[in-house]
Structure 1
Amino acid sequence: MKALISIDYTNDFVATDGALTTGDAGQAIEQSLVAVTKMFTENKDFVVYAVDRHEQNDPYHPENALFPAHNLADTIGRKLYGNLAKVYEDSREQANVYWLDKRHYSAFSGTDLDIRLRERKISEVHLVGVCTDICVLHTAVDAYNLGYKIVIHKNSVASFDPVGHEWALTHFKQTLGAEIVE
């Protein structure tokens, strides 16, 4: 069984005026990311929207020292970007679609994602979203350490750092044994 984990494809990470935007790189993957998400949703595979959620002025969150405030609860910046928002709205009531608030880079860190995947007998995770070298990477590393087969949709991941993006794609394949698909 397989699942799709769609990571952080929100206004703050993708829109031109987003707080921590991937800009053109993130916008360029929209069509591919939406197509992959629709395919998984329509096939009734498990689809997880793993979305960063932060609180304004949280003194305990380590990202506050590294990045500007982003994906703040109850803001437009945290809403899904572009056509993915419609795909989610049209499918959110389906049993195979799950919204996951995450606090850390990895969708597994401090969440029930591993439990939800295992109870569905899922052994293969497909990853799409942003940023390739941050949240997608950390989710992939945790998936690897938990024994999942990893598939990265190359045309559906992006970063604001082109060098980091390319490095992460190589790392997925050579160090985590991930399958990279177009």
Structure 2
Amino acid sequence: MTKALISIDYTYDFVADDGKLTAGKPAQAIETALVDTTRKAYEAGDYIFFAIDAHDEDDPFHPESKLFPPHNIKGTSGRHLYGELAPLYDAIKEDSRVFWMDKRHYSAFSGTDLDIRLRERKVDTVVLTGVLSDICVLHTAIDAYNLGYQIEIVEGAIAALTDEAHQFALNHFQHVLGAKII
């Protein structure tokens, strides 16, 4: 079994109290688990992908512009990794097993070469962490399922805007996608 951890959108705009589309305290509460999970995956020799929203300022064609306030705008501090994940990334980013991927859509697979990179490395299992449980993490999990990957969700390392949305996502991961909740 070859694993890749996909760290999704754990950025200032999604986590900080004054972030543009913040999950606030629930997202801040997962910081230690998310960082520990990332560190352990790196130490185990797994591949690590940081899949981070990258939006253009004032893009009227992007569907999210009608749903959410502008967030994770290219060139802004809103795209910076939040908290202790930032120095961890800085310490490991030069390793050939660590990747930064800009994404425009909810799923880390949509419009990126993630699937190609995983298949080149014979990855069969993706481990998902980050935010938001019911949006970007869920859509990434759905695409991973449809592409034939085994899915592991680190329950303590994902968060949503509301507890109801988080619980919906956990149920969907487990009972619809067959994900292993760890």
Same fold (TM over 0.5): yes
- RMSD of Structure 2 on Structure 1 (CA): 0.5
Partner SS, residue 176 of structure 2: helix
Partner SS, residue 4 of structure 2: strand
Using the aligned pairs only, state the percent identity.
Answer: 57
Structure 1 residue 165: deviation in Å?
0.6
Deviation track 1:130-182 (CA, whole Å, cap 9, x = no partner) reads 0000000000000000000000000000011211110000010000000000x
Partner SS, residue 84 of structure 2: helix
Q: What letter corresponds to residue 152 of structure 2 in structure 1?
A: V
Question: For residue 17 of structure 2, what is the aligned residue in structure 1?
Answer: 16
Which residues of structure 1 form unaligned runs of 5+? Answer: none
Deviation track 1:17-65 (CA, whole Å, cap 9, x = no partner) reads 0000000000000000000000111222100000000010012100000
Which residues of structure 2 form unaligned runs of 5+? Answer: none
Corresponding residue pairs, total: 181
Q: What letter corresponds to residue 69 of structure 1 in structure 2?
A: P
Q: Distance in 1 between matches of 2:93 and 2:44?
A: 15
Question: For residue 71 of structure 1, what is the aligned residue in structure 2?
Answer: 72
Q: What letter corresponds to residue 52 of structure 2 in structure 1?
A: V
Q: Distance in 2 between matches of 1:65 and 1:172?
A: 27
Question: For residue 143 of structure 1, what is the aligned residue in structure 2?
Answer: 144
Question: For residue 6 of structure 2, what is the aligned residue in structure 1?
Answer: 5
Question: For residue 94 of structure 2, what is the aligned residue in structure 1?
Answer: 93
TM-score scaled by structure 2? 0.99
Q: Distance in 2 between matches of 1:132 and 1:139?
A: 10
Q: 4+ runs of 1 displaced by more than 3 Å? A: none
